[in-house]
Amino acid sequence: MTVLPNYAKVFASATVANVASGFDVLGFAVSHPGDTVEARRRVTPGVTLQEITGDGGRLPRDEGNAVVVAVRELLRRLEEPFGVDIVLHKGMPLSSGLGGSAASAAAALHAVNLLAGEPLSPEQLLPCSLEAERAVSGAVHADNAAPALLGGFVLVRSTNPLDVISLPVPPGLAVVLLSPDIEITTAVARRMLPTEIPLKDAVSQWGNLAALVASLFSGNLALMGRSLSDLIAEPIRAELIPGFQDVKKAALTAGALGCSISGSGPAVFALVETVAEGEIVAKEMKHAFKVAGLKATSYISEVGAISPRVVKEG
């Protein structure tokens, strides 16, 4: 008979959604930053979010929190439900475009699934995370939730029915994240977008996305660079990020393969051939943000990290 753990501490990664040409359908996990969740089994049923650290007291503690919604959905799906107390450690800035709620939900789901003896696969946990995203942002988009739960580079072919495909990542490929000290809510960034787009722009966008997917399989980084272009969201949302065009130019001049907005921003990502190159690119991007009057935190790591990762179990 397997003895189930009563406690699990799990880390889940920040994620970059959209990835330039992959608006609403593409995302990948980074190695850091990320959120950490502690889950402890208790006698009484239900879920209680006992404590949140790192959020400056700003996130809701009730069913307005992605963690609470996600875990409630998971408990509903278990044959033998139990109760859990949760502590959430936020490891990244709020409303930064780094998939914070998806990371929190992914860490919590993986932790509680461990307490239950792992009855569900990551793919089966994904609908619980999407319910949380819906509760928090009012819309269902899986391009953060899927890579936070599955790790790596993930394509969301469809959300209804849900169909996600893990894509290969060229060895060594790295990402630079710059998170400036402003906030953008996803709902506001989404309302800025038009409901209709020119067919010719759509064709350019899907040509680039198809080529980006091909570059992930073939490891052709020059092709990846040419494919990292966004005609749909970036031109509009860039206005919300002071200095964006200069930050992007700085990244490309310093040797980045491509650069665009992470999710709905304000974080900006750049893909680079190696972590070492990322150090140079990060410095230039940070400087460009400084010129624009923004203080930005930088993170450099390999793309396609394993997420979630168990920190402690027992």
Residue 148 · residue 102 · CB < 8 Å: yes
Residue 213 CB, shortest distance to a second copy, in Å, is 5
Per rule CB under 8 A, is residue 36 in the interface with a second copy?
no
Q: Residue 52 or 231: which CB sits closer to a second copy? A: 231
Burial (Cβ within 10 Å: 0-12, 13-18, ≥19) of residue 6 = middle
Residue 217 CB, shortest distance to a second copy, in Å, is 4
Q: What whole-number distance in Å separates Cα of residue 290 and Cα of residue 187? A: 27
* Segment contacting a second copy by CB under 8 A, of 73-81, 122-130, 200-208, 259-267: 200-208
Q: Residue 2 or 195: which CB sits closer to a second copy? A: 195
Q: What whole-number distance in Å separates Cα of residue 264 and Cα of residue 282? A: 20
Residue 267 · residue 148 · CB < 8 Å: no
Per rule CB under 8 A, is residue 24 in the interface with a second copy?
yes
Residue 178 · residue 286 · CB < 8 Å: yes
Q: Residue from 182, 193, 236, 292 that binds a second copy (CB under 8 A)?
A: 193
Per rule CB under 8 A, is residue 163 in the interface with a second copy?
yes
Per rule CB under 8 A, is residue 22 in the interface with a second copy?
yes
Q: What are phi and psi of 176, to 5 degrees?
A: -110, 130
Per rule CB under 8 A, is residue 206 in the interface with a second copy?
yes
Whether omega for the bond prior to residue 194 falls within 30 degrees of 0, making it cis, is no
Per rule CB under 8 A, is residue 210 in the interface with a second copy?
yes
Q: Residue 165 or 276: which CB sits closer to a second copy? A: 165
Contacts of 4 (CB under 8 A, 6+ apart): 41, 115, 116, 117
Q: What whole-number distance in Å separates Cα of residue 58 and Cα of residue 265? A: 19
Per rule CB under 8 A, is residue 227 in the interface with a second copy?
yes
**Nearest partner of 163 among 188, 192, 127, judged by Cα:** 127
Per rule CB under 8 A, is residue 96 in the interface with a second copy?
no
Q: Residue 56 or 198: which CB sits closer to a second copy? A: 198
Residue 93 CB, shortest distance to a second copy, in Å, is 27
- The count of residues interacting with a second copy (CB under 8 A) is 39
Per rule CB under 8 A, is residue 236 in the interface with a second copy?
no
* Segment contacting a second copy by CB under 8 A, of 20-28, 29-37, 179-187, 289-297: 20-28
Q: Residue 211 or 250: which CB sits closer to a second copy? A: 211
Contacts of 252 (CB under 8 A, 6+ apart): 258, 259
Per rule CB under 8 A, is residue 214 in the interface with a second copy?
yes
Among residue numbers 44 through 83, which ones bind a second copy (CB under 8 A)?
none
Q: What whole-number distance in Å separates Cα of residue 81 and Cα of residue 113? A: 11
Residue with token string 């189930």: 4
Per rule CB under 8 A, is residue 186 in the interface with a second copy?
no
* Segment contacting a second copy by CB under 8 A, of 9-17, 110-118, 193-201, 284-292: 193-201
Q: What are phi and psi of 16, to 5 degrees?
A: -100, 115
Burial (Cβ within 10 Å: 0-12, 13-18, ≥19) of residue 42 = middle
* Segment contacting a second copy by CB under 8 A, of 78-86, 155-163, 180-188, 254-262: 155-163
Residue 257 · residue 212 · CB < 8 Å: no
List contacts with a second copy (CB under 8 A).
22-26, 155-158, 163, 165, 167, 193-200, 202-214, 217-218, 223, 226-227, 232
